[in-house]
Amino acid sequence: MQLLRQVLGESSLGGRQHYLRWSPESWRHWEMCGLAYDSTVGYADQIGFRAGTCIPYRPWLLALDREANLIEIPLIVMDGTLLHYMGLTPHESLEAVGELVARCRAVGGVFTLLWHNSSLMDSTAADLYRGLIDSLAGSDHYDWRTSHSCVGVGSAR
């Protein structure tokens, strides 16, 4: 982590578990590494609100009986979920994501999208990505580095 901080010139870093391999203990492990946020709590095979919210929050570490020293920014949509797991067409994907974006905006939440760079090699997925980005144009953004209330509107950066 120290090498990454030096290379990137950032003191606070975060991320997500590969393949969304998450358990409640993951937060403790991330915290021990000194990470500031996690964005793993989402479904691989469905889109939506696995954490029951789109509001970033500080998770409770049950084994330690305390609040975590990191922020969970819930993952709402992953690229492979739309086209592969759910088998949606690009049009159906845009509609489904649009509904989730509207729900996030309605409560002042954060819409978090995970799009793998490898997906951009597929023209259908790349076109869908451009459509999703266009639909989010003009949205406010959530900056986890400056938001102490853990509430924001738009997409996480």
Range of the domain at 129: 2-156
H-helix or E-strand containing 81? none
| Dist. CA 149–CA 154, nearest whole Å | 15
Query: Other CB atoms closer than 10 Å to residue 10's CB: what's the count?
Result: 12
| Total number of domains in the chain | 1
Per-residue model confidence as pLDDT tens for the chain (157 residues): 888 888 988 888 898 988 888 888 999 999 999 999 999 999 999 999 999 999 999 999 999 999 999 999 999 999 999 999 999 999 999 999 999 999 999 999 999 999 999 999 999 999 999 999 998 888 888 887 776 544 433 444 3
CATH number at residue 37: 3.20.20.370
| Dist. CA 149–CA 71, nearest whole Å | 10
* DSSP conformation class of 85: I
